[in-house]
Copies of this chain bind each other. A is one copy, B any other.
Amino acid sequence: MLSPTELGGIRRAIADAGVDGWLLYDFHGINPIAASIAGISGMVTRRYLCYIPRDGNPVAITHAIEQGPWEAWPAEWPKLVYSSWRDFEKALADVVGGKRVAMEYSPGDAVPYLDRVPAGVVELVRNSGAEVVTSADLVTRIYAVWTPENVASHQRAAEHLARIARNAMALAGERARAGRPMREFELATLIRKEFAEAKLFTDHGPNVSVGLNAANPHYEPTEENSAVINDGDIILIDLWAREADGVYADQTWMGSLGPASSENVAIWETVRGARDAAITLLRERIGSGRPVTGGEADDAARNFITERGFGKNFTHRTGHSIDSRELHGSGPNIDNLETRDVRVLLPGVAFSIEPGIYIPGQVGMRSEVNGFVADGSLLITPRNPQSDLLIV
Protein backbone atom coordinates (compact mmCIF):
# COMPACT_ATOMS: atom_id res chain seq x y z
CA MET A 1 0.00 0.00 0.00
CA LEU A 2 2.95 2.30 0.71
CA SER A 3 3.94 3.77 -2.67
CA PRO A 4 5.01 7.17 -3.94
CA THR A 5 1.39 7.87 -4.97
CA GLU A 6 -0.08 6.80 -1.60
CA LEU A 7 2.59 8.48 0.48
CA GLY A 8 0.87 11.87 0.55
CA GLY A 9 -2.30 10.48 2.12
CA ILE A 10 -0.38 8.48 4.69
CA ARG A 11 1.72 11.52 5.61
CA ARG A 12 -1.44 13.59 6.15
CA ALA A 13 -2.79 10.89 8.47
CA ILE A 14 0.52 10.89 10.37
CA ALA A 15 0.41 14.66 10.74
CA ASP A 16 -3.22 14.53 11.92
CA ALA A 17 -2.28 11.86 14.49
CA GLY A 18 0.20 14.29 16.04
CA VAL A 19 3.24 12.03 15.72
CA ASP A 20 6.60 12.36 13.94
CA GLY A 21 6.18 9.07 12.11
CA TRP A 22 4.73 5.60 11.89
CA LEU A 23 7.10 2.77 12.80
CA LEU A 24 6.07 -0.61 11.38
CA TYR A 25 7.68 -3.70 12.90
CA ASP A 26 7.32 -7.33 11.89
CA PHE A 27 8.93 -10.68 12.60
CA HIS A 28 7.50 -13.98 11.37
CA GLY A 29 4.16 -12.35 10.53
CA ILE A 30 3.44 -11.31 14.15
CA ASN A 31 2.11 -7.94 12.88
CA PRO A 32 0.02 -8.39 9.73
CA ILE A 33 -0.62 -4.63 9.58
CA ALA A 34 3.09 -3.97 8.99
CA ALA A 35 3.37 -6.38 6.07
CA SER A 36 0.23 -5.00 4.50
CA ILE A 37 1.25 -1.33 4.75
CA ALA A 38 4.88 -1.89 3.77
CA GLY A 39 3.79 -4.09 0.86
CA ILE A 40 5.90 -7.05 1.93
CA SER A 41 4.81 -10.43 0.60
CA GLY A 42 5.78 -13.91 1.69
CA MET A 43 7.24 -15.11 4.96
CA VAL A 44 9.96 -12.91 6.37
CA THR A 45 12.11 -14.77 8.91
CA ARG A 46 14.20 -11.83 10.17
CA ARG A 47 13.10 -8.66 11.86
CA TYR A 48 12.35 -5.61 9.75
CA LEU A 49 11.27 -2.06 10.40
CA CYS A 50 9.73 0.51 8.11
CA TYR A 51 9.59 4.10 9.29
CA ILE A 52 7.26 6.55 7.54
CA PRO A 53 8.02 10.08 8.72
CA ARG A 54 5.54 12.94 8.60
CA ASP A 55 8.02 14.71 6.34
CA GLY A 56 10.64 13.15 4.09
CA ASN A 57 10.96 9.70 2.61
CA PRO A 58 10.18 6.36 4.24
CA VAL A 59 13.16 4.31 5.48
CA ALA A 60 13.30 0.50 5.58
CA ILE A 61 15.60 -1.46 7.90
CA THR A 62 16.02 -4.87 6.29
CA HIS A 63 18.07 -8.03 6.77
CA ALA A 64 20.95 -8.75 4.39
CA ILE A 65 19.67 -12.19 3.41
CA GLU A 66 16.06 -11.04 2.91
CA GLN A 67 16.23 -8.40 0.21
CA GLY A 68 13.80 -10.17 -2.13
CA PRO A 69 10.61 -8.97 -0.41
CA TRP A 70 11.83 -5.37 -0.84
CA GLU A 71 12.25 -5.46 -4.62
CA ALA A 72 9.38 -2.99 -5.11
CA TRP A 73 10.85 -0.49 -2.62
CA PRO A 74 11.43 2.76 -4.57
CA ALA A 75 15.11 3.43 -5.29
CA GLU A 76 14.82 7.01 -4.01
CA TRP A 77 13.76 5.83 -0.53
CA PRO A 78 16.53 4.79 1.87
CA LYS A 79 16.82 1.06 2.59
CA LEU A 80 19.26 0.18 5.35
CA VAL A 81 20.64 -3.37 5.41
CA TYR A 82 21.73 -5.11 8.61
CA SER A 83 23.31 -8.45 9.45
CA SER A 84 23.96 -8.16 13.17
CA TRP A 85 21.68 -7.14 16.01
CA ARG A 86 24.11 -4.31 16.74
CA ASP A 87 23.58 -2.86 13.27
CA PHE A 88 19.82 -3.37 13.61
CA GLU A 89 19.67 -1.49 16.90
CA LYS A 90 21.98 1.25 15.64
CA ALA A 91 19.87 1.79 12.52
CA LEU A 92 16.75 1.94 14.66
CA ALA A 93 18.27 4.53 17.00
CA ASP A 94 19.49 6.61 14.04
CA VAL A 95 16.03 6.63 12.48
CA VAL A 96 13.72 7.15 15.49
CA GLY A 97 15.94 8.66 18.21
CA GLY A 98 14.15 11.64 19.77
CA LYS A 99 10.98 11.05 17.76
CA ARG A 100 7.38 10.42 18.78
CA VAL A 101 6.37 7.34 16.83
CA ALA A 102 3.14 5.41 16.37
CA MET A 103 3.27 1.62 16.53
CA GLU A 104 0.73 -1.23 16.62
CA TYR A 105 0.52 -0.93 20.38
CA SER A 106 -2.69 -0.67 22.40
CA PRO A 107 -2.15 0.56 25.98
CA GLY A 108 -3.30 -2.10 28.42
CA ASP A 109 -4.37 -4.26 25.45
CA ALA A 110 -7.62 -2.30 25.19
CA VAL A 111 -7.90 -3.32 21.53
CA PRO A 112 -6.18 -6.68 21.06
CA TYR A 113 -6.43 -6.43 17.25
CA LEU A 114 -4.11 -3.43 17.36
CA ASP A 115 -1.72 -4.78 19.99
CA ARG A 116 0.80 -6.52 17.76
CA VAL A 117 4.26 -5.40 18.80
CA PRO A 118 6.03 -7.52 21.42
CA ALA A 119 6.85 -5.93 24.75
CA GLY A 120 10.60 -6.36 24.18
CA VAL A 121 10.41 -4.46 20.90
CA VAL A 122 8.55 -1.52 22.42
CA GLU A 123 11.24 -1.46 25.13
CA LEU A 124 13.95 -1.47 22.47
CA VAL A 125 12.30 1.42 20.62
CA ARG A 126 11.98 3.39 23.86
CA ASN A 127 15.61 2.60 24.69
CA SER A 128 16.47 4.07 21.27
CA GLY A 129 15.21 7.41 22.52
CA ALA A 130 11.75 7.37 20.96
CA GLU A 131 8.34 7.87 22.51
CA VAL A 132 5.86 5.14 21.50
CA VAL A 133 2.13 5.83 21.11
CA THR A 134 -0.66 3.82 19.54
CA SER A 135 -1.16 3.82 15.76
CA ALA A 136 -4.91 3.24 16.24
CA ASP A 137 -6.08 6.31 14.30
CA LEU A 138 -3.53 5.69 11.54
CA VAL A 139 -4.76 2.13 11.07
CA THR A 140 -8.34 3.39 11.00
CA ARG A 141 -7.52 6.03 8.39
CA ILE A 142 -5.44 3.79 6.13
CA TYR A 143 -7.42 0.55 6.43
CA ALA A 144 -10.99 1.31 7.31
CA VAL A 145 -12.09 4.53 5.66
CA TRP A 146 -14.57 4.35 2.77
CA THR A 147 -14.33 6.24 -0.52
CA PRO A 148 -17.37 8.03 -1.99
CA GLU A 149 -17.69 5.08 -4.42
CA ASN A 150 -17.76 2.69 -1.43
CA VAL A 151 -20.58 4.70 0.13
CA ALA A 152 -22.66 4.72 -3.04
CA SER A 153 -22.16 0.99 -3.59
CA HIS A 154 -23.02 0.24 0.04
CA GLN A 155 -26.23 2.29 -0.21
CA ARG A 156 -27.35 0.36 -3.29
CA ALA A 157 -26.63 -2.96 -1.57
CA ALA A 158 -28.42 -1.81 1.60
CA GLU A 159 -31.66 -0.96 -0.26
CA HIS A 160 -31.60 -4.34 -2.01
CA LEU A 161 -31.14 -6.08 1.34
CA ALA A 162 -34.05 -4.21 2.95
CA ARG A 163 -36.34 -5.08 0.03
CA ILE A 164 -35.24 -8.73 -0.02
CA ALA A 165 -35.69 -9.11 3.76
CA ARG A 166 -39.18 -7.57 3.76
CA ASN A 167 -40.25 -9.75 0.83
CA ALA A 168 -38.83 -12.88 2.45
CA MET A 169 -40.75 -12.14 5.66
CA ALA A 170 -43.96 -11.66 3.71
CA LEU A 171 -43.44 -14.92 1.82
CA ALA A 172 -42.89 -16.89 5.04
CA GLY A 173 -46.20 -15.49 6.34
CA GLU A 174 -48.13 -16.29 3.15
CA ARG A 175 -46.84 -19.85 3.02
CA ALA A 176 -47.70 -20.52 6.66
CA ARG A 177 -51.22 -19.13 6.21
CA ALA A 178 -51.63 -21.25 3.06
CA GLY A 179 -50.81 -24.39 5.06
CA ARG A 180 -47.48 -24.87 3.26
CA PRO A 181 -45.05 -23.48 5.86
CA MET A 182 -41.41 -23.00 4.83
CA ARG A 183 -38.32 -24.24 6.61
CA GLU A 184 -35.63 -21.81 7.73
CA PHE A 185 -33.10 -23.25 5.32
CA GLU A 186 -35.51 -23.02 2.38
CA LEU A 187 -36.08 -19.33 3.02
CA ALA A 188 -32.32 -18.73 3.34
CA THR A 189 -31.83 -20.42 -0.03
CA LEU A 190 -34.48 -18.18 -1.60
CA ILE A 191 -32.72 -15.10 -0.22
CA ARG A 192 -29.45 -16.24 -1.79
CA LYS A 193 -31.27 -16.49 -5.13
CA GLU A 194 -32.49 -12.91 -4.67
CA PHE A 195 -28.90 -11.82 -4.00
CA ALA A 196 -27.83 -13.39 -7.29
CA GLU A 197 -30.64 -11.64 -9.18
CA ALA A 198 -29.58 -8.32 -7.68
CA LYS A 199 -25.93 -9.11 -8.60
CA LEU A 200 -24.94 -9.18 -4.94
CA PHE A 201 -22.36 -11.52 -3.42
CA THR A 202 -21.84 -12.90 0.07
CA ASP A 203 -19.31 -15.18 1.76
CA HIS A 204 -21.99 -17.25 3.52
CA GLY A 205 -25.41 -16.89 5.16
CA PRO A 206 -27.99 -15.44 5.44
CA ASN A 207 -29.22 -16.60 8.82
CA VAL A 208 -32.94 -17.32 9.09
CA SER A 209 -34.09 -18.43 12.56
CA VAL A 210 -37.42 -18.86 14.27
CA GLY A 211 -37.55 -17.16 17.66
CA LEU A 212 -36.59 -20.16 19.78
CA ASN A 213 -33.53 -20.85 17.63
CA ALA A 214 -32.65 -17.16 17.48
CA ALA A 215 -32.26 -17.31 21.27
CA ASN A 216 -28.89 -18.91 20.48
CA PRO A 217 -26.92 -16.19 18.66
CA HIS A 218 -24.68 -18.86 17.08
CA TYR A 219 -27.56 -20.86 15.55
CA GLU A 220 -27.52 -21.35 11.79
CA PRO A 221 -30.00 -23.56 9.91
CA THR A 222 -28.62 -26.27 7.64
CA GLU A 223 -30.24 -28.40 4.98
CA GLU A 224 -30.43 -31.27 7.47
CA ASN A 225 -31.34 -29.28 10.54
CA SER A 226 -33.81 -26.50 9.99
CA ALA A 227 -37.05 -25.59 11.78
CA VAL A 228 -40.46 -25.10 10.17
CA ILE A 229 -41.66 -21.47 10.22
CA ASN A 230 -45.20 -21.74 11.59
CA ASP A 231 -47.99 -19.34 12.25
CA GLY A 232 -47.38 -17.65 15.60
CA ASP A 233 -43.60 -17.78 15.25
CA ILE A 234 -41.18 -14.91 15.67
CA ILE A 235 -38.66 -14.88 12.81
CA LEU A 236 -35.19 -13.33 12.53
CA ILE A 237 -33.43 -12.70 9.21
CA ASP A 238 -29.78 -11.57 9.32
CA LEU A 239 -28.41 -10.96 5.83
CA TRP A 240 -25.26 -9.39 4.40
CA ALA A 241 -24.02 -8.93 0.84
CA ARG A 242 -22.19 -6.54 -1.45
CA GLU A 243 -21.76 -5.63 -5.10
CA ALA A 244 -18.85 -7.26 -6.94
CA ASP A 245 -16.37 -4.52 -6.04
CA GLY A 246 -18.39 -2.92 -3.29
CA VAL A 247 -18.44 -2.93 0.49
CA TYR A 248 -20.85 -4.97 2.57
CA ALA A 249 -24.26 -4.00 3.85
CA ASP A 250 -25.35 -6.07 6.88
CA GLN A 251 -28.89 -5.98 8.33
CA THR A 252 -31.13 -7.92 10.69
CA TRP A 253 -34.91 -7.83 10.45
CA MET A 254 -37.55 -9.23 12.84
CA GLY A 255 -41.01 -10.46 11.96
CA SER A 256 -43.98 -12.18 13.57
CA LEU A 257 -46.28 -14.65 11.81
CA GLY A 258 -49.51 -13.27 13.14
CA PRO A 259 -49.90 -10.85 16.06
CA ALA A 260 -47.02 -10.82 18.56
CA SER A 261 -47.41 -11.30 22.30
CA SER A 262 -47.06 -8.19 24.44
CA GLU A 263 -43.87 -9.70 25.86
CA ASN A 264 -42.35 -10.08 22.41
CA VAL A 265 -43.41 -6.56 21.45
CA ALA A 266 -41.65 -5.28 24.59
CA ILE A 267 -38.46 -7.16 23.68
CA TRP A 268 -38.58 -5.79 20.14
CA GLU A 269 -39.09 -2.25 21.39
CA THR A 270 -36.12 -2.67 23.69
CA VAL A 271 -33.70 -3.74 20.93
CA ARG A 272 -35.07 -1.04 18.63
CA GLY A 273 -34.67 1.52 21.41
CA ALA A 274 -31.12 0.40 22.10
CA ARG A 275 -30.28 0.72 18.40
CA ASP A 276 -31.77 4.22 18.34
CA ALA A 277 -30.00 5.21 21.58
CA ALA A 278 -26.65 4.44 19.95
CA ILE A 279 -27.68 6.35 16.82
CA THR A 280 -28.83 9.36 18.86
CA LEU A 281 -25.52 9.56 20.73
CA LEU A 282 -23.57 9.25 17.50
CA ARG A 283 -25.63 11.94 15.75
CA GLU A 284 -25.19 14.34 18.67
CA ARG A 285 -21.45 13.89 18.88
CA ILE A 286 -20.70 13.78 15.17
CA GLY A 287 -23.06 16.65 14.45
CA SER A 288 -21.35 18.86 17.02
CA GLY A 289 -17.83 17.83 15.99
CA ARG A 290 -17.01 16.14 19.29
CA PRO A 291 -15.13 12.83 19.14
CA VAL A 292 -17.01 9.66 20.00
CA THR A 293 -15.57 6.18 20.45
CA GLY A 294 -17.02 2.81 19.52
CA GLY A 295 -17.06 1.96 23.21
CA GLU A 296 -19.28 4.94 24.03
CA ALA A 297 -21.81 3.96 21.37
CA ASP A 298 -21.86 0.44 22.82
CA ASP A 299 -22.51 1.88 26.27
CA ALA A 300 -25.48 3.88 24.95
CA ALA A 301 -27.16 0.80 23.47
CA ARG A 302 -26.24 -1.44 26.40
CA ASN A 303 -27.45 0.99 29.05
CA PHE A 304 -30.84 1.20 27.32
CA ILE A 305 -31.20 -2.58 27.46
CA THR A 306 -29.78 -2.90 30.98
CA GLU A 307 -32.19 -0.30 32.36
CA ARG A 308 -35.06 -2.44 31.04
CA GLY A 309 -33.75 -5.54 32.81
CA PHE A 310 -32.29 -7.40 29.84
CA GLY A 311 -28.60 -6.52 30.35
CA LYS A 312 -27.47 -10.11 30.91
CA ASN A 313 -29.30 -11.16 27.72
CA PHE A 314 -27.28 -8.83 25.49
CA THR A 315 -24.23 -11.09 25.21
CA HIS A 316 -22.24 -9.53 22.35
CA ARG A 317 -20.86 -6.19 21.27
CA THR A 318 -23.23 -3.66 19.69
CA GLY A 319 -21.47 -3.71 16.34
CA HIS A 320 -18.41 -4.38 14.22
CA SER A 321 -16.34 -2.30 11.83
CA ILE A 322 -17.19 -2.71 8.15
CA ASP A 323 -14.22 -1.65 6.06
CA SER A 324 -13.65 -1.44 2.32
CA ARG A 325 -12.51 -5.07 2.17
CA GLU A 326 -14.07 -7.00 5.03
CA LEU A 327 -17.48 -7.47 6.62
CA HIS A 328 -15.70 -7.59 9.98
CA GLY A 329 -13.29 -4.77 9.34
CA SER A 330 -10.14 -3.32 10.88
CA GLY A 331 -11.67 -0.07 12.05
CA PRO A 332 -13.26 0.72 15.41
CA ASN A 333 -15.88 -1.72 16.66
CA ILE A 334 -18.96 -0.59 18.58
CA ASP A 335 -17.73 -2.43 21.62
CA ASN A 336 -17.20 -1.91 25.29
CA LEU A 337 -18.07 -5.50 26.20
CA GLU A 338 -15.70 -7.91 24.46
CA THR A 339 -12.94 -5.31 24.23
CA ARG A 340 -12.56 -1.78 25.46
CA ASP A 341 -12.74 -0.02 22.09
CA VAL A 342 -11.29 3.39 22.77
CA ARG A 343 -10.84 4.18 19.08
CA VAL A 344 -12.49 7.33 17.79
CA LEU A 345 -15.06 6.94 15.01
CA LEU A 346 -13.18 9.09 12.51
CA PRO A 347 -14.84 10.47 9.37
CA GLY A 348 -15.05 7.77 6.72
CA VAL A 349 -15.51 4.71 8.97
CA ALA A 350 -18.54 2.45 8.92
CA PHE A 351 -19.96 -0.18 11.23
CA SER A 352 -22.98 -2.25 12.14
CA ILE A 353 -25.32 -1.31 15.00
CA GLU A 354 -26.99 -4.51 16.10
CA PRO A 355 -28.09 -4.83 19.72
CA GLY A 356 -29.83 -8.09 20.61
CA ILE A 357 -31.69 -9.81 23.44
CA TYR A 358 -31.39 -13.61 23.76
CA ILE A 359 -33.56 -15.47 26.28
CA PRO A 360 -32.57 -19.16 26.21
CA GLY A 361 -35.47 -21.50 25.57
CA GLN A 362 -37.75 -18.61 24.69
CA VAL A 363 -36.79 -16.09 22.01
CA GLY A 364 -33.97 -14.08 20.46
CA MET A 365 -34.38 -10.67 18.79
CA ARG A 366 -31.97 -8.24 17.16
CA SER A 367 -32.22 -5.11 15.07
CA GLU A 368 -29.37 -4.22 12.78
CA VAL A 369 -28.58 -1.24 10.60
CA ASN A 370 -25.29 0.21 9.38
CA GLY A 371 -23.72 3.58 10.15
CA PHE A 372 -21.25 5.62 8.09
CA VAL A 373 -19.49 8.66 9.58
CA ALA A 374 -19.61 11.45 7.02
CA ASP A 375 -18.14 14.90 7.69
CA GLY A 376 -20.33 16.27 10.45
CA SER A 377 -23.17 13.78 10.02
CA LEU A 378 -24.06 10.14 10.42
CA LEU A 379 -25.51 8.19 7.49
CA ILE A 380 -27.73 5.26 8.51
CA THR A 381 -28.64 2.52 6.02
CA PRO A 382 -31.09 1.33 4.86
CA ARG A 383 -32.99 4.55 4.19
CA ASN A 384 -35.99 3.24 6.15
CA PRO A 385 -34.82 1.18 9.11
CA GLN A 386 -37.29 -1.22 10.69
CA SER A 387 -39.67 0.54 13.05
CA ASP A 388 -42.26 -2.04 14.14
CA LEU A 389 -42.14 -5.82 14.15
CA LEU A 390 -43.14 -6.95 10.65
CA ILE A 391 -46.47 -8.71 11.16
CA VAL A 392 -46.84 -11.10 8.23
Residues of A within 8 A of B (CB): 27-28, 30, 46-47, 64-65, 83-85, 105-110, 112, 115-124, 127, 132, 218, 315, 336-340
Complex contact A30–B116 (CB within 8 A): yes
Complex contact B338–A84 (CB within 8 A): yes
What are 12 contact pairs spanning A and B, CB under 8 A? A47-B109, A64-B315, A84-B337, A85-B110, A85-B339, A106-B120, A107-B123, A112-B118, A115-B120, A115-B121, A119-B122, A119-B132
Determine which of B47, B115, B315, B337 lies in contact with A85 in the assembled complex, contact meaning CB atoms within 8 Å: B337
Determine which of B64, B65, B105, B338 lies in contact with A118 in the assembled complex, contact meaning CB atoms within 8 Å: B105
CB distance from A136 to the nearest CB of B (A): 11
With a cutoff of 8 Å between Cβ atoms, the chain B residues found around residue A339 in the complex are 85
Measured CA separation A135–B46 after assembly (Å): 21
Measured CA separation A212–B339 after assembly (Å): 58
* Interface-central residue, A83, A117, A122, A339, by most chain B CB under 10 Å: A122
Complex contact B120–A118 (CB within 8 A): no
Query: Given contacts A118-B115, A119-B119, A218-B65, are A108 and B84 in contact (CB under 8 A)?
Result: no
Complex contact B120–A108 (CB within 8 A): yes
CB distance from A198 to the nearest CB of B (A): 31
With a cutoff of 8 Å between Cβ atoms, the chain B residues found around residue A107 in the complex are 120, 123
Measured CA separation A157–B112 after assembly (Å): 46
Secondary structure dominating the interface of A? loop
With a cutoff of 8 Å between Cβ atoms, the chain B residues found around residue A340 in the complex are 85
Measured CA separation A380–B122 after assembly (Å): 39
Specify the chain B residue showing the minimal Cβ separation from A336.
B85
Specify the chain B residue showing the minimal Cβ separation from A109.
B120
Complex contact B112–A124 (CB within 8 A): no
Specify the chain B residue showing the minimal Cβ separation from A63.
B338
Specify the chain B residue showing the minimal Cβ separation from A84.
B337
Contacts A83-B315, A83-B338, A85-B110 known; 17 new A-B pairs at CB < 8 A: A28-B112, A30-B116, A47-B109, A65-B218, A83-B337, A85-B340, A106-B118, A107-B120, A107-B123, A109-B121, A110-B120, A115-B118, A115-B121, A117-B118, A118-B119, A119-B119, A119-B121
Measured CA separation A119–B101 after assembly (Å): 15
With a cutoff of 8 Å between Cβ atoms, the chain B residues found around residue A336 in the complex are 85
With a cutoff of 8 Å between Cβ atoms, the chain B residues found around residue A218 in the complex are 65
With a cutoff of 8 Å between Cβ atoms, the chain B residues found around residue A117 in the complex are 118-119
With a cutoff of 8 Å between Cβ atoms, the chain B residues found around residue A124 in the complex are 108-109
Measured CA separation A123–B218 after assembly (Å): 33
With a cutoff of 8 Å between Cβ atoms, the chain B residues found around residue A47 in the complex are 109, 112
Measured CA separation A251–B246 after assembly (Å): 56
Query: Given contacts A84-B338, A315-B83, A338-B83, are A115 and B108 in contact (CB under 8 A)?
Result: no
With a cutoff of 8 Å between Cβ atoms, the chain B residues found around residue A120 in the complex are 105-110, 112, 115
With a cutoff of 8 Å between Cβ atoms, the chain B residues found around residue A122 in the complex are 119
CB distance from A110 to the nearest CB of B (A): 7
Measured CA separation A30–B118 after assembly (Å): 10
Measured CA separation A62–B28 after assembly (Å): 26
With a cutoff of 8 Å between Cβ atoms, the chain B residues found around residue A106 in the complex are 118, 120
Measured CA separation A27–B121 after assembly (Å): 18
Measured CA separation A135–B376 after assembly (Å): 50
Specify the chain B residue showing the minimal Cβ separation from A110.
B120
CB distance from A93 to the nearest CB of B (A): 12
CB distance from A36 to the nearest CB of B (A): 15
Measured CA separation A102–B260 after assembly (Å): 56
Complex contact A118–B123 (CB within 8 A): no
Specify the chain B residue showing the minimal Cβ separation from A104.
B118
